[in-house]
Amino acid sequence: MQAFFIRRYGGPAVLEAGELPPPPLGPNDVRIAVHAASVNPVDWKVREGKLKVLLPYRFPLVLGHDCSGVVREVGAGVETFRPGDAVYARLDKGRLGAFADEAVMAASNVAPKPARLSHAEAASLPLVALTAWQALVDVAKVQRGQTVLVHAGAGGVGSAAVQLARHLGAKVVATASASNLERVRSFGADTVVDYHAQRFDDVVRDVDAVIDGVGQENVLRSFRCVRPGGIVISIADAPDLAFAREYGVTPALWPVFWLMGAKVNHAARRHHAKYRYWFMHPDGAQLRQLGTLVDQGVLRPHVDRVFPFSQTKEAVAYAEGGKARGKVVVSLRD
């Protein structure tokens, strides 16, 4: 199969194109002919080796975390899908490979592609929509009438979080640059703060939950915005000891995680709030729910640019450069 992969950790230059053997199909797996795959920040974090403590991959490693395509083959134990089904998926954490013309994953991580979306649009959603849904529903347990602050509301996770928080009945406050204010309002944000013009922590108060994908300084400042008992959720950095224990990190590394989370946990205690670092997990059942919301018009994708598969390196570089307004997608068959 044709794929984009790495043989070692490093910068952009280590990503190469070539032919690799197709991944084996297990009894509970689905093999998908990939039509499109999306680029996510976790792709270059994996490439750089920043997640090797959590996920010790083997080389050569095909990158790419989510995709849309058509089922080519199913394992002997799979009854939910059959060849020819149009699907989308977030691949297994320990078994990546969306930047290839075919990918194999557990059937439990796969869901029917939303009918109203192209493969390129559908490929843009699994990782970001699952991250937003799990943060809002599973972690923050957002209820109707509460207030949610979403940072980077024009980004992949941010745009999904704004739409889903609105669907859950919450009042939504978001941050964005001046050029994206109207776009974020169109996603359903009640208030949008231009973070270049004013500090969000000077004007936002008493929110019930914060979804942050920016970084530690943003997380620390967000505690000023949360009511007592509220929660700040980071999907960008500051994994802490609680996360290390939950994720099964070897105890020898627990002091490192304690140190990484020390500032944010101190800030949480000082403001009588809670802190959670969230690393999303694949979930086909949740993807089915999200697909229904897409087909109902509740959730829509936010695609900035689609690159041909041959330009996957350029697509990753473009996304990594931080200029994209929405998701970056590579297209193989559309």
Nearest to 168 by CA among 157, 160, 176: 160
User: How far is it, in rounded angstroms, from Cα 12 to Cα 14?
Assistant: 6
Q: Is the pLDDT of residue 171 over 70?
A: yes
Q: Is 97 left (phi over 0), alpha (psi -120 to 50) or beta?
A: left
Q: Is the pLDDT of residue 313 over 90?
A: yes
Which CATH number applies to 2-125+301-331: 1.10.10.10, 3.40.640.10, 3.90.180.10, 3.40.50.300? 3.90.180.10
* Beta bridge partner(s), residue 114: none
Over the stretch 153-168, which tens digit does the pLDDT of each residue have? 999 999 999 999 999 9
Percent of the chain with pLDDT over 70: 100
Query: Which pLDDT does position 94 carry in this prediction?
Result: 87
Query: Which pLDDT does position 318 carry in this prediction?
Result: 96
287 contact partners, CB below 8 Å, separation of at least 6: 88, 89, 90, 109, 110, 111, 126, 129, 130
| CATH code for the domain defined by 128-277 | 3.40.50.720
Cβ atoms of 258 and 235 closer than 8 Å: no
Domains 2-125+301-331 and 128-277 share a fold: no
pLDDT bucket at 55, cuts 50 / 70 / 90:
confident
Q: What DSSP string describes 296-326?
A: TTS----EEEEEEGGGHHHHHHHHHTT--SS
User: How far is it, in rounded angstroms, from Cα 118 to Cα 139?
Assistant: 30
What mean pLDDT is predicted for residues 236-243?
90
Cβ atoms of 30 and 75 closer than 8 Å: yes
Where do the structural domains in the chain lie, given as residue ranges? 2-125+301-331, 128-277
Q: Is the pLDDT of residue 131 over 70?
A: yes
pLDDT bucket at 238, cuts 50 / 70 / 90:
confident
Q: Is the pLDDT of residue 283 over 70?
A: yes
Instruction: Name the token pair of 3.
Output: 């794929």
The whole model's pTM is what?
A: 0.96
What mean pLDDT is predicted for residues 268-287?
97
Query: Which pLDDT does position 237 carry in this prediction?
Result: 85
Q: Is the pLDDT of residue 144 over 90?
A: yes
Query: Which pLDDT does position 281 carry in this prediction?
Result: 95
Q: What DSSP string describes 156-189?
A: HHHHHHHHHHHHTT-EEEEEE-GGGHHHHHHTT-
Q: How many CA atoms lie within 13 A of 70 on its CB side?
A: 8
Q: Is the pLDDT of residue 138 over 90?
A: yes
What mean pLDDT is predicted for residues 118-145?
98
Over the stretch 245-267, which tens digit does the pLDDT of each residue have? 998 899 999 999 999 999 999 99
Q: Is the pLDDT of residue 334 over 80?
A: no
Burial class from Cβ neighbours inside 10 Å (0-12, 13-18, 19+) for residue 82 reads: exposed
pLDDT bucket at 314, cuts 50 / 70 / 90:
very high
What mean pLDDT is predicted for residues 164-188?
97
What mean pLDDT is predicted for residues 15-20?
98
User: How far is it, in rounded angstroms, from Cα 301 to Cα 295?
Assistant: 11
What mean pLDDT is predicted for residues 91-102?
95
Query: Which pLDDT does position 33 carry in this prediction?
Result: 98
- Give residue 254's Cα distance to chain centre: 25
What mean pLDDT is predicted for residues 7-30?
97
Number of Cβ atoms within 10 Å of the Cβ of 145: 10
- Give residue 25's Cα distance to chain centre: 25
* Beta bridge partner(s), residue 6: 61
Over the stretch 195-226, which tens digit does the pLDDT of each residue have? 999 999 999 999 999 999 998 799 999 999 99
